[in-house]
Structure 1
Amino acid sequence: MPRESNHTQQSNAPTVLVVEDETMVRMPIAEYLRDCGYNVVEAGDASEAIAAMAAETPVSLVFTDIRMPGKMDGFGLAEWFRSHYPDVPVLLTSGYHGGRSSPGISIPGTRFIEKPYSQNQVARRIAALLDS
């Protein structure tokens, strides 16, 4: 199930869907993005992310890990978003990408940021993607 926030949603603020199976990685970046003024929906894997979209949560951007448990990884999730929500940008992240210099770049609307990242780097990248 997508995680609910204890924070009040800001009606005009963009909503970021953070998809990360490692709770100790997901929680701090989600909290930081909330502190930056974004509404945040958290999911532990691709199926939870898709369930969040089925709940008609208006998502402005997806920030997802590439390597996740389940039937679909971050690449598959990015492709799912391209098919179902082509206007929603996807920011992929991973600490391991098998030597590929820019994973996901071949998927339109998708960008990549390597782990370890700083929270500020992620927030700047999200702001830039939402502005473009």
Structure 2
Amino acid sequence: MIDKSKNLPAVLVVEDEPLIRMEAVDMIEDAGFKVYEAGSADVAIELIGKHDDIGILFTDIDMPGSMDGLKLAAYVKDRWPPVAIVIASGKVDFTVMKVPEGSTFFPKPYPTDKIIKALGDIAQKLA
């Protein structure tokens, strides 16, 4: 269970499918986190540069634009090392992906309880 009385890091949700993004945002907000949302890596990079309260990147892998979720995760880890990375995908085999060290992976459809627990664990480590 997440202690909502603590100052939780904001979560940046990056998902190109609007309905899936909306569900993810609702799930994470319901757990007590402030959430920013982006439909592409380009918008995500713009948001993370503007909001220093973002402590967790929650991204899909398959996205249109200049980079996919894996490249976005690597970019964020390189540019903003303290930001925790959570990656979700329904199409990619995690065992063959090159993800930033310390990243967490979840298959789609989202296992809500496991994602919320992981976000809570990350928030405790960042506190």
Report the TM range for the smaller structure's normalisation. Answer: 0.7 to 0.9
What residue number does 1:3 align with? Answer: none
Q: Which has the higher helix share?
A: 2
Q: What is the percentage of aligned positions where both structures have the same residue?
A: 34
| Structure 1 contact 19–26 (Cα < 8 Å) conserved | yes
Q: Which residue of 2 aligns with 1:103?
A: 97
The match for 2:122 is 129
Distance 1:85 1:101, change over 3 A: same
Q: Check whether the contact 1:60–1:88 (CA below 8 A) recurs between aligned residues.
A: yes
TM-score (norm 1): 0.82
Q: Which runs of 5+ in 1 are unaligned?
A: 1-9
**Alpha-carbon displacement from aligned partner over 1:11-33 (angstroms, at most 9, x marks no partner):** 93320000000011010110121
- How many residue pairs were aligned? 121
Inter-CA distance 104–124: structure 2 relative to 1 (3 Å threshold): farther
* C-alpha RMSD of matched pairs (Å): 2.0
- Structure 1 stretches (4+) deviating beyond 3 angstroms? 102-105
Q: Is the 8 A contact 1:104 1:112 kept in 2?
A: no
Q: Which runs of 5+ in 2 are unaligned?
A: none
Determine helix, strand or coil for the equivalent of 1:25. helix
**1:113 aligned onto 2:113:** no
The alignment's TM-score, normalised by the length of structure 2, stands at 0.85
Match of residue 34 from structure 1: 29
